[in-house]
Amino acid sequence: MDDLKKGMEVTEAKFKLTLCDGTACIHKHSKELLLAVESELDKHGLRQAVKINLSGCLGMCKDGPILIVNPGFVMYGGVRVEDVPEIVQSHLVDNKAVTRLIISPDYLYNRFFRVFGDVDFFGRQMRICLRNCGIIDPENIDDYLALRGYEALAKALEMMTPQEVVDEVKKSGLRGRGGAGFSTGLKWEFTAKQVSDRKYVICNADEGDPGAFMDRSAIEGDPHTVLEGMIIAGYAIGASKGVVYIRAEYPLAIKRLEKAIAAAREHNLLGSGILGSNFDFDIEIRLGAGAFVCGEETALIHSIEGSRGMPRPRPPYPSVSGLFGKPTLINNVETWANIPVILLDGADWFSSIGTETSKGTKVFALAGKVHNTGLVEVPMGTTLREIIYDIGGGIPKGKMFKAVQTGGPSGGCLPEQYLDTQIDYESLAKAGSIMGSGGMIVIDEDACMVSLARFFIEFTQDESCGKCTPCREGTKRMYDILTRITEGKGRPGDIELLERLGGMIKRASLCGLGQSAPNPVLSTIKNFREEYEEHIHAKTCRAGQCTAMLSFTVNEKCIGCGACKRVCPVAAVEGARREKHRILPDKCIRCGQCYEACKFDAITRA
Amino acid sequence: MLTPMQIIKNKRAEAVHRIIGKGYLSTRRVYVGMATCEIAAGSKDVMQVFRQAIADGVTDVYLSQKGCAGRCNLEPTVEVIEEGKIPVKYGRVSPQRARDIVERHLKKGEVITEWMI
């Protein structure tokens, strides 16, 4: 209904203005500009006909303040308060754009504003990695070429030495988007410095976090940008072979990638003597069987080599000894997708976006209890509140926000007091979670935090490769204890035991999977300890999710329809037709099916 | 001997030419979301409706698939872009809605506001 209303408003407004509300534009008096626009609109009686929208940083800081007028996507730059009367009179009243203020920067990103009228959702976003997703036909290389595709590669081959490419990436401040956030430029530099007859470039597309689909969407929506990033890296570090490691569970992404590789070969963008130069590079696809641990780089390399996907100690890092013992550069899909933009729009521009330590944007798969679930890309420094409430549209059904889970099974749950945390690697870590690869699950008051922690530990104990005992056995023990707690059989001391086990697993595991597996449990204990205590001591679950602790009784609203009797799997309901029924507590297994089936609110759950 | 930059610019010009050859300059461009998520929500059937409509004689339309734009809860999505107008983006498009979009929007030029995102 809300979506519907928004749609109506948009169509009723004759013009839509988007004013950049980024820090740089505010410095250049965009706030005063907003007031001037509003008062000028009032003067002309145009307030109803014009919808004003504030956007997050559009990344065009040097041209700011930016004012965009739709329809037509007319972009005004360097707008001063004195210019407002002219813009309103000429553009909004006489329908003639003010040509002297129009700017048309040839940036690669954010073309989507023109294409999507959907400002409420996209207004605070900034699309670099996903710049073509949802705009081009991913199966047609022409669409990519038409939008300056492979121009960054041509630029690198023609105008830059390999060292200059590495320096540019280093200068951009780009950090690995797979989760750990290591400097991409340094990784490139380490691999470039190695002397070897053979080097490899790998794209890690083994996306495994439950509920995360950033990489899948990026490849499905724009496969060529990933390929272009990899080819550029091959040139920069002196590699001639690339591998995309992607899970077999992504058939459409694989199909589009195969198509893209074939088309790139046809256009001599892959193969020997790329674009008339003397640089050779080719890419092949390797399919993973969908093991979570294969997202870890050393396990991934083992898997490509045909061995069992298990991590090994580092050093040596893959940049020194990686695939088949050769220097190997591994980056995540999202990291690769940023490379062409950095080369074309420049490292200076890229590093102007984001925070002190984290540059550029991050894609999140926004899921859970939020109005607009979806894929969002925001500049670093955006707050969790902006993502959940401004872009996500808040929590449905008037429910209360309880927590937000970032970083998937390796991350943590942040409660309300952390909502104003900025998105960057350090701030999220300080708050007790991680950036991770981009899963973001919004949790409302109906969720039980103990069950949630149990869900994640169930996942990691299932996915543990078994190499390190603390991870293999420890996560299993944690899972057993959490199961016990949710079944109402928790014992005093269980919380402390979980904390001790968690600490041990983190310290004694080899790879990131084990080192981070206890995080969902530890962070929920830290932020929601009282819920654990209630489960253990009072044997209650405030969210009503742990059904084993509940008792079900029939109240006087019962009309004897028999619906509960029919669904009960253990025949624990008795009663004649049209008479009040009764639940036998000894037989009842507290599955909650009668509660779901009753249409008369006649079953009390306590 | 052409440089890489010249080669890529030629390729771009050819690509643009090919896209235009496929009817890109039609007054209306229709994009149907076709990522895994959109297909799961039923976008293949929606695409078929538009294909059929063009086969049945709706002219001056450029039809293309596109990847996921991120609006998961409103899929399948269909976008109708007309020169000089605000792009119209429809959400939760069923085959029935697609047929209505063909009849009302493409044939009669009526924007169906209640399905807009």
Q: Six-digit token pair at A381? A: 């420094």
- pLDDT on residue A425: 93
Residue A11, Cβ density class (10 Å: 0-12 exposed, 13-18 middle, ≥19 buried): middle
Which of A441-450, A589-598, B79-88 is modeled with the greatest confidence? A441-450
With beta carbons less than 8 A apart as the criterion, state whether A330 and A147 touch: no
Q: What is the DSSP string of A280-344?
A: -BEEEEEEE---GGGGSHHHHHHHHHTS-------SSPTTTS-GGGS-EEEEEHHHHHHHHHHHH
- Shortest distance, CA B109 to any CA of chain A (angstroms): 15
Beta-carbon contacts of B13 under 8 Å, excluding residues fewer than 6 positions away, are: none
Q: By three-state DSSP, how is residue B32 classified? A: strand
State the Cα–Cα distance between residues A320 and A309, nearest whole angstrom.
20
Rounded to an integer, the average pLDDT of A561-572 is: 93
Q: Which residues of B touch A143 (CB under 8 A)?
A: 15, 19, 64
Question: With the C-alpha atoms ordered A408, B68, A394, A332, is the resulting torsion angle positive or negative?
Answer: positive
Inter-chain residue contact A134 with B33, CB threshold 8 Å: yes
Q: What angle do CA B102, B103, B109 make, to 5 degrees?
A: 85
**Shortest Cα–Cα distance, A495 to chain B (Å):** 38
Which residues of chain A does B40 touch, with a Cβ-Cβ cutoff of 8 Å? none
* Burial bucket for residue A354 (CB in 10 Å: 0-12, 13-18, 19+): buried
The answer to whether A135 contacts chain B (CB < 8 Å) is yes
A10 interfaces chain B, CB cutoff of 8 Å: yes
Mean local confidence (pLDDT), A100-109: 70
- Residue A303: band (very low, low, confident or very high) from pLDDT cuts 50, 70, 90: very high
Residues of B in contact with A9 (CB under 8 A): none
Domain covering A550-605 in this structure, CATH number: 3.30.70.20
Contacts of B87 in chain A (CB under 8 A): 114-117
Q: Alpha-carbon distance A456 to A409, whole Å?
A: 5
Check residue A234 and give its pLDDT: 97
Q: Give percent above pLDDT 70 in chain A.
A: 94
**Pick from B66, B86, B117: which is nearest to A134 by CB?**
B66
Contacts of A112 in chain B (CB under 8 A): 69
CA separation for the pair A574, A571 (Å, rounded): 8
A216 CB within 8 Å of a chain B CB: yes
Length of chain B: 117
Q: Nearest chain B residue to A276 by CA: give it.
A: B4
Average pLDDT over residues A55-73: 76
Task: Report the alpha-carbon distance of residue B6 to residue A151 in Å, rounded.
Answer: 10
Asked if A164 reaches chain B (Cβ–Cβ under 8 Å), the answer is no
Instruction: State the Cα–Cα distance between residues A274 and A283, nearest whole angstrom.
Output: 13
- Which of B2, B72, B75 best probes binding to A when mutated, by most A CB atoms within 10 angstroms? B72
Contact between A115 and B39 using a beta-carbon 8 Å cutoff: no
Q: Which CATH class is domain A141-349?
A: alpha beta
Contact A375 B89 (CB under 8 A): no
Q: Which residues of B touch A134 (CB under 8 A)?
A: 33, 66-70
Q: What is the mean pLDDT of chain B?
A: 89
Closest C-alpha among A170, A312, A309 to residue A233: A170
> What are the start-end ranges of the E strands in A21-73?
50-55, 67-70
Contact between A436 and A410 (Cβ < 8 Å): yes
pLDDT band at A112 (very low <50, low <70, confident <90, very high): very low
**Predicted confidence (pLDDT) per residue in A212-232, tens digit:** 899 999 999 999 999 999 999
Whole-angstrom CA distances from A349 to A48, A335, A342 are 37, 17, 8
Higher pLDDT, A428 or A15: A428
Residue-level pLDDT at A269: 97
**Token code pair at residue A584:** 């036998």
**Cβ contact (<8 Å) for A217 and B35?**
yes
Shortest distance, CA A148 to any CA of chain B (angstroms): 7
CA pair distance A64, A86, nearest whole angstrom: 18
The pLDDT of residue A384 is: 95
Mutate to test the interface with B, among A141, A215, A217, A364 (most CBs of B within 10 A): A217
| pLDDT for the residue numbered A107 | 60
Å between A72 CA and nearest CA of chain B: 6
Would you call B89 and A130 a contact, using CB atoms and an 8 Å cutoff? no
Give the residue extent of every domain in chain A. 2-107, 141-349, 361-444, 449-538, 550-605
CA-to-CA separations, A318 to A190, A227, A321, A323, in angstroms, rounded: 10, 20, 5, 7
More confident call, A526 vs A551: A526
CB-CB neighbors (< 8 A) of A149 in chain B: 12
Cα–Cα distance measured from residue B65 to residue A44, given in angstroms and rounded to the nearest whole number: 42
Q: What is the pLDDT of residues A223-256, one digit of tens each?
A: 999 999 999 999 999 999 999 999 999 999 999 9
Please give the pLDDT value at position A11: 43
Interval A574-603 mean pLDDT: 91
Pairwise CB contact (< 8 Å): B87 & A374? no
In terms of C-beta distances under 8 Å and separation of at least 24 residues, what long-range contacts does A576-581 make, across chains too? A580/A554, A580/A556, A581/A554
Residue in B closest to A141 by C-alpha: B15
Supply the DSSP symbol for A64: P
Q: Is A246 helix (H, G, I), strand (E, B) or coil?
A: strand
Pairing label, strands A50-55, A15-20: parallel
Residues 323-382 of A with CB under 8 A from B: 367, 371-377
Residue A155 with chain B: CB contacts under 8 Å: 4-5
Rounded CA separation A314/A489 (Å):
41
Rounded Cα distance, A416 and A437, in Å:
22
Query: Is A70 a residue whose pLDDT tops 80?
Result: no
C-beta atoms of A115 and B87 within 8 A? yes
3-state secondary structure of B64: strand
CATH class of A2-107: alpha beta
Distance from CA of A15 to the nearest CA of B (A): 10
**pLDDT given at position A105:** 62
| Residue A118 banded pLDDT, cuts 50, 70, 90 | low
Fold assignment, A449-538: de novo design (two linked rop proteins) (1.20.1440)
Smallest Cα distance from B20 to chain A, Å: 11
Pairwise CA distance, residues A258 & A284, whole Å: 9
Mean pLDDT is lowest, of A4-18, A413-427, A509-523, for A4-18
- Is residue A1 predicted with pLDDT exceeding 50? no
pLDDT for A2: 40
Query: Which chain B residues contact residue A153 at CB under 8 A?
Result: 4, 8
Cα of B56 to nearest chain A Cα, Å: 23
Are the Cβ atoms of A158 and B3 closer than 8 angstroms? yes
Strands of the A282-288 sheet, one edge to the other: A282-288, A241-247, A200-205, A328-332
Structure confidence at residue A6 (pLDDT): 40
Predicted confidence at residue B33, as pLDDT, reads 92
pLDDT in tens, A25-59: 887 888 888 989 999 999 888 888 888 877 766 66
- How high is the pLDDT of residue A144? 93
Taking contacts as CB-CB distances below 8 angstroms, the residues of chain B near A373 are: 72-73
Contact A3 B74 (CB under 8 A): yes
Judged by CB atoms closer than 8 Å, whether chains meet at A253 and B36 is answered as yes
Q: Which of A69, A92, A72, A90 is nearest to A20 (CA)?
A: A69
- CB neighbourhood size of A362 (10 A): 28
Hey, is the C-beta of B113 within 8 angstroms of any chain A C-beta? yes
Rg of chain A (C-alpha set): 28
List, as ranges, residues 521-540 from A with C-beta within 8 Å of B: none
Q: Which CATH class is domain A361-444?
A: alpha beta
pLDDT surpassing 50 at residue A601: yes
Residues 272 to 301 of A: which have CB under 8 A from any B CB? 274-277
Q: Report the complex ipTM.
A: 0.91
pLDDT of residue A108: 57
Structure-model confidence comparison of residues B84 and B66, the more confident one: B66
Nearest C-alpha neighbor of A335 from the set A481, A158, A515, A207? A207
Among B61, B37, B116, smallest CA distance to A217 is for B37
Residues 6+ apart with CB under 8 A from A306: none
pLDDT of residue A113: 47
Answer whether A18 touches B (CB < 8 Å): no
Q: Which two tokens stand for residue A234?
A: 């091959």
CA dihedral angle for residue A69, residue A73, residue A79, residue A81, rounded to 10 degrees: 0
Closest-CA residue of chain B to A213? B37
Strands A573-574 and A50-55: unpaired
- CATH number attached to the domain at B26-115: 3.40.30.10
Residues of A in contact with B79 (CB under 8 A): 115-116
- Predicted confidence (pLDDT) per residue in B10-48, tens digit: 998 999 889 888 888 888 889 999 999 899 999 999 999
Per-residue pLDDT for A3 more than 70? no
CA diameter of chain B: 57
> In a 10 Å sphere around its CB, with 0-12 CB exposed, 13-18 middle and 19+ buried, how is residue A91 labelled?
buried
Contact criterion met (CB below 8 Å) for A473 and A517: no
Q: Which of A165-179, A468-482, A588-602 has the lowest mean pLDDT?
A: A588-602
Mean pLDDT over A97-102 rounds to 85
The answer to whether A211 contacts chain B (CB < 8 Å) is: no
